[in-house]
Amino acid sequence: MKSSKGRIVFQCINYTVLFLLMAAALYPVLYVLAASLSSFEFLAQGKVGIIPMGFTLDAYKRILSYPMIGRAYLNTVFYTVAGTMLSLLLSCLAAYPLSRRPFPGQKLMSGVVVVAMLFNAGMIPVFLIVTKLNMYNTIWSILIPTSVSSFNVILLKNFFQQIPYELEESAALDGCSQLKILFRIILPLSLPGLVTVGLFYAVTQWNSYFPAMLYLRDRELVPMQIILRDIVIQNQTNELSIDLVNGSDQISESVKYATIMVATIPIMMVYPFIQKYFVKGIMVGSVKG
């Protein structure tokens, strides 16, 4: 069918707006990548755009050769993987009962989840709880306090509600417990929703640095984002005893950009592999059941 003039105009405007949004999101990433691979002479003169000038890997060599960077990187990977798995488990255990047939107190519990999404206890009460439970300066202070998001629980609840109750009833007649129904029937059928919520948790955990600032004093436990913050924002490389700058502004600028890329690229590479599940998961989970 021949497209009308109005539709052609709309498509042109739509593609133009989408291209501008894509360029606005992509340009900072390409610039930081190019700056991290460029020599200081071109960087200081402001000649670096999205293409590296005076290609060099010195900044990456200095970062990757320092033991503290490697340790912080491994900590970030551990916090992301372990935190995402723990968050998904707790979120599923919370969302599944709320998505099933009504039970006494279900509306109250649903209301508590919604209220928790809008309000929180605050930094000081959470800090006191972490201290009283002897989680201070341990990995549990990073994994547990932020393990569950009310928003993600609601997404999973709405997704679970799309699954027919008849499947649960058939499994119950065969002798399955509620946990078996959840892990053997509900979760396998909810892969798009789990992938979507898992991505939310993983990105949040990967980018998180504030809990580590509050609860961790052992430098062996800090995530990569703390190192990134100290180098890029506060420029406290000397205070951290990181021999990355050596008194040279030439290396300092390159190290900042290279550190950003080292901390950003891994989580960006995850999305293409789960994109096919993400759209379906976010659309179905956002529909009120």
Q: pLDDT tens digit string along 94-140?
A: 888 888 777 787 788 888 888 888 887 788 888 899 999 999 999 99
Note the Cα 277 to chain centre separation in Å. Answer: 16
- Tens digits of per-residue pLDDT, 241-250? 444 544 444 4
Helices of type H across 119-164: 123-132, 140-143, 150-160
- Tell me, what's the pLDDT at 82? 93
C-alpha 93/C-alpha 125 separation (Å) is 25
**What pLDDT shows up at residue 282?**
55
* Both structure tokens of 216: 């961790």
Contact indicator for 139, 76 with CB cutoff of 8 Å: no
pLDDT given for residue 245 in this prediction = 46
How many Å apart are CA 37 and CA 182, to the nearest integer? 49
Residues of the chain below pLDDT 70: 1-3, 231-252, 274-289
AA identity, residue 245? V
pLDDT of residue 87: 93
Q: Residue 145 in contact with residue 214, Cβ under 8 Å?
A: no
Rounded CA separation 93/100 (Å): 12
Tell me the C-alpha distance between 140 and 47, whole Å. 46
Q: Which two tokens stand for residue 179?
A: 């946990």
How many residues does the structure list for the chain?
289
Tokens 């372990």 correspond to 82
Q: Which of 73, 8, 86, 21 is nearest to 264 (CA)?
A: 73
Write down the pLDDT at residue 78: 93
Query: Where do the H-state alpha helices sit in the chain?
Result: 5-36, 40-44, 58-65, 67-99, 106-118, 123-132, 140-143, 150-160, 165-173, 178-181, 191-207, 210-215, 224-228, 249-285
**Beta carbons within 10 angstroms of residue 107's beta carbon:** 11
